[in-house]
Structure 1
Amino acid sequence: MHAVITAAGLGTRMLPASKEIPKEMFPIPFNNGFKPIIQIIFEQLYNKGIRDFVIVVGRGKRVIEDHFTPDYDFVSYLEKVGKEKQARELLTFYSKIEKSNIAFVNQPEPKGFGDAVLRVEPFINDKFIVVAADTLLREIPDLIPNSFLVTEVEDPRPYGVVILEGDRVIDVEEKPKNPKSRFIIVPYYMFTYDIFHALREVKCNGELQLTEGIKILLKKGVEFIAKRVNDVYDLGSIENYIASIKKIIG
């Protein structure tokens, strides 16, 4: 099974810090380490047994590809200057990279989450996981095909909102002005190949949103299940990034 990690957004809510450093590469103190967000997500998925990855990047995200390219000369340098701990940490990360199949897909323009997912279609032939690399969990729960994570918030308007009946998804709305629910999508999904057909059916003049593809499948009678989670770390804005770090370190 493949895991798709999307990291192509412009990160405008993190400017000016994200002008040259992708927000997905911002460091987080996590589980006694200090690592980039996208590395933490990769390692969490790796530890769940996933070995096939597709990372969607955009313009100015070359540093992400560099980070996932082992640099053993640098490891040797660290060992030479007595930085054995840092060298071991990099070797552990590089070992996971070497044991994985990682492909990078380019999203030349920021045309939406749905467009980013649609671009990975050539790599997928079965069910697959999608994770946005600006949201972190303490632990990634198990998902089933046609399911995603949700959490309850005070103000759901900036997010994809989910209308539920028990754990069954009735409808989804992208950033509604008048939300019908306080449950929002936490961007950890498991899809089947059908999501690609649905995304191609979406008629839009601007960004292609993933929620629109889900809506089409719901209208066709495809059942989606929502799994509720707590301790969600939204790292997509400066305010949320700072608040999440404070929450993580207690």
Structure 2
Amino acid sequence: MMAVITAAGLGTRMLPWTKEIPKEMLPVVWNDEIKPIIQVVFEQLYSQGVRDFIFVVSRNKRVIEDYFAPDHDLVDYLEASGKNRQARSLRGFYEMVERANIAFVNQFEPKGFGHAVLVARPYVSGDFLVVGPDTLVLDLDVSAMPVNSFLVTEVQDPRQYGVVQLVDDRVIDLEEKPRTPKSNLIVVPYYHFDEDIFRALASVKFEGELQLTDGIRALIREGKEFRAVKVKRVYDLGNLTGYIDYMRSLVNSMNV
């Protein structure tokens, strides 16, 4: 299984923090350690069998490439200094990185989520996952996602998200950030596609930003069926409210 991880966005919802630090590198507590969000997403996917990764980055995201470059000298230093817990953590991460096939692709202009996926086209063969690494899904199970499906969850106010209409689990329509949502189900940015998504995205005429939902809608109009896989434990860490909610959930769990 291959995963395309899109990490080229500007992160405007988390400014000024993200002026110099990519939102994907924001720290979260995970398994009693502090890790960047993108590392947590990578480790989740790796633990579920994904070994081929394409990271779509932009010019100001070089820190992500550096982070995924193993630094064994640092591990040796930590071990020599008696900091064995930190050394074990880094060594485990580096072992995953070295066992995976990782490539970085540049999105040279901020033209939207759909465009970020499209620039990965020359490097993808067969069906693949697409993941937005500013969202954590605690009940993630990629094996439950058939080809041409994506995750959805229920929220109280869906107006800032892609909103989905379903018949059973079949997607009949979706709309990006509607003023008047037709449901309270939103897209969670974890998708399983076949290569038709590239053709659909390339056919969409757009101004400003190409949205991934535009490509999916084009395929639905052609008659291709998409399935929605419902999840519940979702945190959108790309905005302040979601980030605080996640941190608050950790504090609450420690107080139990």
- TM-score (normalised: structure 1): 0.98
Counterpart in the other structure of 1:181: 183
Counterpart in the other structure of 2:31: 31
Q: Residue 191 of structure 2 aligns to a residue in which SS?
A: strand
Partner amino acid, structure 2, of 1:21: I
User: Which whole-Å deviations, capped at 9, do the CAs of 1:155-182 have from their partners, x for residues lacking one?
Assistant: 1110001011111000010101111111
Counterpart in the other structure of 2:2: 2
CA contact (8 A) 1:29 1:249 kept: no
CA contact (8 A) 2:5 2:133 kept: yes
Counterpart in the other structure of 2:247: 245
Partner amino acid, structure 2, of 1:111: K
- Pairing 1:192–2:194 present: yes
Root-mean-square deviation (CA, aligned residues, Å) is 0.9
Work out the CA distance in 1 between the residues paired with 2:172 and 2:139.
26
User: Which whole-Å deviations, capped at 9, do the CAs of 1:175-222 have from their partners, x for residues lacking one?
Assistant: 011111110000000000000000011011110000000000000000
Work out the CA distance in 2 between the residues paired with 1:114 and 1:43.
24
Counterpart in the other structure of 2:82: 82
CA apart distance, 1:59? 2.2
Where do 4+ consecutive residues of structure 1 move more than 4 Å? none
Partner amino acid, structure 1, of 2:207: N
Work out the CA distance in 1 between the residues paired with 2:211 and 2:131.
14
Counterpart in the other structure of 1:58: 58
Partner amino acid, structure 2, of 1:87: A
Work out the CA distance in 1 between the residues paired with 2:35 and 2:226.
33
CA contact (8 A) 2:174 2:213 kept: yes
Work out the CA distance in 2 between the residues paired with 1:122 and 1:204.
21
Work out the CA distance in 2 between the residues paired with 1:63 and 1:43.
18
Q: Residue 136 of structure 1 aligns to a residue in which SS?
A: strand
Q: Structure 2 stretches of 5 or more lacking a match?
A: none
Identity across matched positions, percent: 60
Partner amino acid, structure 2, of 1:60: N
Partner amino acid, structure 1, of 2:192: M
Work out the CA distance in 1 between the residues paired with 2:104 and 2:139.
24
Q: Residue 216 of structure 2 aligns to a residue in which SS?
A: helix
Pairs aligned (count): 250
- TM-score (normalised: structure 2): 0.95
Partner amino acid, structure 1, of 2:223: G
Query: Among residues 181, 196, 216, which one is paired with 1:214 in the alignment?
Result: 216
User: Which whole-Å deviations, capped at 9, do the CAs of 1:60-101 have from their partners, x for residues lacking one?
Assistant: 111100110000111111112211110111000000000000
